[in-house]
Chain A
Amino acid sequence: MDSVKERSVDEVVSTILGKYNQRHHLMRILQEVQSNYGYLPREALEKISQSTGIPLSDIINVATFYHQYRLEIPGYYIFLVCMGTACHLKGNQDNYNVLRNTLGIKKGNTSSDGLVSVEKARCFGCCSLAPVMMVVSRDGCERYLHGNVDIKETKKLALTYRSMASKKVRSGE
């Protein structure tokens, strides 16, 4: 993450555009931008539009249509709570509420300290371990899957990841 912060949006975007610059690479370009920042900064979208000639409205159309893209900066860790059928039947909605309550998220998806986000996600295909949640770090380097989580486990996970995130942020990562 450090290296990213030092590099300007311009630099990051031009490196990516050096690899892909066609209209049909748009999805890939946005994915790469997001893997750098954890979300799609407005400046980056504008820069892509200027460099490739794809209208900004088209870029935003794609960025808002697909679920993977975020337009707002998420927390250091992101809880992705699966909302598939099996997970729904086994009570992941309750887990989702518990996560939000435990982390004190009232509005939006991110806790007020900016450490942890909670999002609803599409089926991961781990239905046999329902209910499932995935925790990913903003930079995409860390990825943990948790299966068969109940409410107690959820609470524990929420607190664990919050303290992990605060440690990481404090140590300057």
Chain B
Amino acid sequence: MAEWTLMDRCCDKCWHTVEYPCKHFIRCTVEGPLCHESAECRVKRKRRIEELKYGKYGIKIKVPISSCTLAAGAKEVYDAVSKEVLSSGLNADITISGCMGLCYLDPWIELSKKGLPTAIYVNVKPGDVPKILKEYLSGDLSNAFALRADPEGIYKNYKVPLLNDLTLWSNQVRFVSRGCGVLNPESIEDYIISNGFRGLDKILNMHPKNVIEFVKKSGLRGRGGAGFPTWMKWEIAQSQVSDIKYFIVNADEGDPGAFMNRLLAESDPYRVIEGMIIGAYAVGASKGYIFVRAEKPLMADRLSKAVEEIRKYGLLGRNILGSGFSFDIEVILSAGAFVCGEETALISAIEGRTRPRQRPPYPATRGLWDKPTVINNVETVAHVATVFQVGVEEFTKYGTEKSKGTKMFCVTGCVSRTGAYEVPIGMSLSKLVYDLAGGPPDGKKVKAVQIGGPSGGCVPSNLLNTPVDYESLQSAGAIMGSGGVVVIDEDSCMVDVAKFFTSFTLAESCGKCFTCRVGMKLLYDILKNITEGKGSEEDLELLNELSDVIIGSSLCALGGTAPNPIKSTLRYFRDEYVAHIKDRKCPAKVCPNLVEYWIDPAKCVGCGLCVKACPTNFITGERGKPHSIDPSKCIRCSQCFITCPQGAVIKR
């Protein structure tokens, strides 16, 4: 017989079934039983909650399983933990959890034992597992990275900081990501004991208009990029008269450098779905789609599992909890195209077609199969669920006048603490880059910060005090986008960065409208010429003018934002462009045609590896003596640079 869970009936007095649901079901699972008084049932539930929190035997080992931790070897760690527990005969629960966002620490494990503070061990190798377990269980926490919770205040005995005392944690506001790295993403019980589904419980007794009013009060704006007020979208769709309406969650995260949606959906999928049900209730949608990128298979798995689980308990489907509201969700795998982040292209994709279409009509009035459709981003709906769970005040406490609440940012690139951080909107960029992400490693300087992916722009280091909110970023030439922050250090060439983004959007342009299809190609060709040292000064003017035309007259948001990286680098790093054009030099020594490879005779040991690597055979020298490259014949393939074991090949 399967184990009794919180979602099951406590005794025969409970009459709840999926067909004839009790409307207090959600609260009853944790606070119950509500309809009858029975000490036995109450204890049964209490004991189960205890078990979930601390494990059956008082020892719990959490191993995070998500795409990022898997890449760092979490699977091996999980296996090592299971093996160790089995072989040592330890009575402990091993559970999986999501990612807490501090990816540079991957893979980590969390150990908890009654009477000891919960400890987090980071950068764990499978071989370390037995030692870590032994140490922790014997009460020696000295090798832990941080302690998560310490109700008894005994952490001071150990020389290990509390997680909350670390700058990278204390500066964050874990609002929407509160469950990430804490909850078991594959357990609905875990979610429900941490205040889960309370939002759904609340709204089913509210009028849809009041639900929208509630969201309006929170001032929540779409977290997907443009920052369109969520309530406004909902209200337009709600006011449409139609036999069927759709609610789509866009989980087709395509921005390179942004992964907060993946993180949220992998680590806390129930929250996403709860938010989605709330939204659907508000606009009166009866069918929902989650559009997930196929390159992120774990995210799709977790979401599908969660949908099934929720449906099993009657929180999805016909007549949800007796409210008369019916809603069902289908998870659709996207075959991957960046343009699908655009609303109308996403709709096309679900319909089995390609390419965006001209707006208006906007999807909220005519969307999927010409029916009113609301499309929200994963983070937005997760925010909705959380706002309804904890109340508006908790949300509006943070943020700026125009944009309330918190936002997740993924800080990657040249920083020492890469990861996803949730901060109040309006925090300064420098705080995000230095205090949270730790700034560049090995003392390099930040040159620029690229925000908003291929549609965003580069903010130079002297503007790092810009607060991160929709308006300030826009005036600095970037956009909030989905919140990908890529830190660029001195080793990168800004023209090359612009070229990279242009090549990205050029490849991703769907080819429907002229300005984007041809314009991006023209821009790319000009940039390519510049990086190859064939540029002229008129090119800069042309880049600027062409960018304006593409932005002004493209069909969809992809073309309308694609030249942003070029415009912002031109605005702040014009001198680098000029150096490429006038001096025929790449200051950061990145552009292959503008650098010269040279072998430092002091370092070269004459091993001859570069001679073998050189495809043109223009490296000469006797074995054991310094070699040299013939600069006039060098094709700058950088093979010698890559091959040299001594680091004697130098770009100059």
Q: Do A and B come from one complex?
A: yes
Q: Which residues of A contact B (CB under 8 A)?
A: 22-28, 30-31, 58, 61-62, 65-69, 83-90, 94, 98, 101, 121-130, 132, 143, 145-148, 151
B294 within 8 A of A: yes
Q: Dominant SS at the B interface? A: mixed
List of A residues within 8 angstroms of B199 by Cβ: none
Q: How far is the CA of A67 from the CA of B350 in the complex (A)?
A: 16
Q: What CA separation (Å) do A146 and B75 show in the bound complex? A: 12
Which residues of B251-307 are within 8 A (CB) of A? Answer: 253-259, 262-263, 294-297
Our pick among A30, A65, A83, A148 for the contact of B256 (Cβ within 8 Å) is A83
Contact B104 A128 (CB under 8 A): yes
With contacts A85-B257, A94-B638, A145-B71 known, is A66 near B336, CB below 8 A?
yes
Does any Cβ of A come within 8 Å of B551's Cβ? no
Distance in angstroms from B432 CB to nearest chain A CB is: 14
Fill in one digit per residue for B233-260: 1 if any A CB lies within 8 Å of its CB, else 0: 0000000000000000000011111110
Residue B162 lies at the interface, judged by CB distance under 8 Å to chain A: no
Residues of chain A within 8 A of B413, CB atoms compared: 85-86, 89-90, 127, 130
Cα of A130 to Cα of B642 in the assembled complex, Å:
18
| Residues of A with C-beta under 8 A to B501 | 85
Closest to A130 in B: B412
Q: How far is the CA of A123 from the CA of B410 in the complex (A)?
A: 13
CB distance from A168 to the nearest CB of B (A): 20
Whether A89 contacts B70 by the Cβ 8 Å rule is: no
Contact indicator B418/A127 (Cβ below 8 Å):
yes
CB closest residue in chain A, given B296: A125
Q: Assess whether A85 is in contact with B256, with CB atoms less than 8 Å apart.
A: yes
| Contact between B336 and A122, CB atoms less than 8 A apart | yes
Q: B510: CB under 8 A from chain A? A: yes
Contact of B352 among A25, A143, A148, A151 (CB under 8 A): A25
Chain B neighbourhood of A145, CB < 8 A: 67, 70-71
Contact of B67 with A125 in the complex, beta carbons under 8 Å:
yes
**Cβ-defined contact, B296 with A28, below 8 A:** no
Which of B1-9, B379-387, B484-492 is the contact stretch? B484-492
Task: List, in ascending order, chain A residues with CB within 8 A of B259's CB.
Answer: 123, 125-128
- In the complex, which residues of chain A have a beta carbon less than 8 angstroms from the beta carbon of B263? 125
Contact B256–A121 (Cβ < 8 Å): no
Enumerate B140-164 residues with CB–CB distance to A below 8 Å.
Answer: none
Are A26 and B352 in contact, CB atoms less than 8 angstroms apart? Answer: yes
Interchain CB contact under 8 A, B294 and A68: yes
Contact residues in A for B510 (Cβ distance below 8 Å): 65
A selection of 24 A-B contacts at a CB cut-off of 8 Å is A27-B333, A28-B332, A61-B354, A62-B354, A67-B336, A67-B337, A68-B336, A84-B257, A85-B257, A85-B484, A86-B413, A122-B295, A123-B254, A123-B255, A124-B67, A124-B296, A125-B68, A127-B413, A127-B486, A128-B103, A128-B419, A130-B412, A130-B413, A146-B71
Say yes or no: is B335 at the interface (Cβ < 8 Å to chain A): yes
Assess the B486–A86 pair: CB atoms within 8 A: yes
Does A124 lie within 8 Å of B295, measured CB to CB? yes
Report the minimum CB–CB distance from B611 to chain A (whole Å).
Answer: 16
Is the beta-carbon distance between A132 and B71 smaller than 8 angstroms?
yes
Q: Which residue of A lies closest to B355 (CB)?
A: A65
Instruction: Report yes or no: B106 in contact with A129, Cβ–Cβ below 8 A.
Output: yes
Task: Kindly list chain A residues whose C-beta atoms are within 8 Å of the C-beta of B355.
Answer: 65
Knowing A31-B333, A145-B67, say if A24 contacts B351 (CB, 8 Å).
yes
Known: A28-B333, A68-B294, A89-B488. A94 touches B642 (CB 8 A): yes
B325 within 8 A of A: no
How many angstroms from the CA of A84 to the CA of B336 in the assembled complex? Answer: 14
Residues of A within 8 A of B294 (CB): 31, 68
CB of A34 to closest CB in B, whole Å: 9
Q: State whether B486 touches A89 (Cβ < 8 A).
A: yes
Whether A125 and B642, one on each chain, are in contact in the complex, defined by CB atoms closer than 8 angstroms, is: no
Q: Lowest 7 CB-CB distances: which A-B pairs, in order?
A: A84-B256, A128-B103, A125-B259, A66-B335, A128-B418, A145-B71, A26-B352
Q: Which residue of A lies closest to B259 (CB)?
A: A125
Interface residues on B, range: 35 or more
A145–B74 Cα distance when bound, in Å, is: 11
Does the CB pair B68–A129 fall under 8 Å? yes
A5 to chain B, nearest CB (A): 24
B residues in contact with A65, CB < 8 Å? 337, 354-355, 510
Nearest to A93 among chain B residues (CB) is: B500
**B453 at interface, CB cutoff 8 A:** yes
Q: If the complex has contacts A23-B351, A127-B418, A129-B103, are A86 and B256 also in contact, measured as CB distance less than 8 A?
A: yes
Query: In the complex the two chains form, is A62's CB within 8 Å of B67's CB?
Result: no
Residues of B within 8 A of A147 (CB): 68, 71-72, 106
B10 CB-CB contact with A under 8 Å: no
With CB as the reference atom, state the residue of chain B lying closest to A34.
Answer: B335
Q: Determine which residue in B71, B262, B333, B486 has the highest number of CB atoms from chain A within 10 A of its CB, and name it.
A: B71
* Assembled-state Cα–Cα distance A91/B97 (Å): 31
Known: A31-B335, A89-B492. A121 touches B71 (CB 8 A): no
How far is it, in angstroms, between the C-alpha of A89 and the C-alpha of B336 when the chains are bound? 22
Smallest CB separation, A126 vs chain B (Å)? 5
A30-B335, A94-B638 given; A128·B256 CB < 8 A: no
Q: Report chain B residues within 8 Å CB of A122.
A: 254, 256, 295, 336, 338
CA distance A32 to B606 in the complex (A): 54
Complex Cα distance, B355 from A58, in Å, reads 12
CB-CB < 8 A to B497: which residues of A? 89
B 488-508 contacts with A by CB, 8 A: 488, 492, 497, 500-501, 504
Having A26-B352, A89-B497, A129-B106, one finds 17 other A-B pairs with CB under 8 Å, namely A62-B335, A65-B354, A66-B336, A66-B337, A66-B349, A67-B335, A68-B336, A85-B453, A94-B638, A121-B295, A126-B67, A126-B71, A126-B103, A127-B257, A127-B259, A145-B71, A147-B68
B623 CB within 8 Å of chain A: no
Contacts of B344 in A (CB 8 A): none
A123 to B420, CA, bound (A): 15
Taking a contact as CB atoms under 8 Å apart, the answer to whether B68 and A128 are in contact is yes
For residue B450, CB closer than 8 A to chain A, the reply is yes
Across-interface contacts of B412 in A (CB, < 8 A): 85-86, 127-128, 130
| Cβ-based interface call for B353 (8 A) | yes
Contacts A66-B336, A125-B67 given; does A86 touch B257 at CB 8 Å: yes
Q: How many angstroms from the CA of A84 to the CA of B256 in the assembled complex?
A: 5
The answer to whether A129 and B492 touch across the interface, beta carbons within 8 angstroms, is no
> Which A residues touch B425, using CB under 8 A?
none
Instruction: Write the nearest CB–CB distance from B330 to chain A, whole angstroms.
Output: 10
Task: Considering the complex, give the chain B residue whose CB is closest to the CB of A143.
Answer: B297
**Is there a chain A Cβ closer than 8 Å to B414's Cβ?**
yes
Q: Which residues of B contact A126 (CB under 8 A)?
A: 67-68, 71, 103, 259
Residue of B nearest to A64 (CB): B354
Contacts A122-B336, A128-B412 given; does A23 touch B352 at CB 8 Å:
yes
Residue of B296, B352, B414, B642 near A27 (CB, 8 A) is B352
Interface string of B333-347 (1 = CB under 8 A from A): 111111000000000
Binary interface encoding of chain B residues 355-388 relative to chain A, with 1 for a CB under 8 A from any of its CBs, else 0: 1000000000000000000000000000000000
B418 to chain A: which residues have CB within 8 Å? 86, 127-130
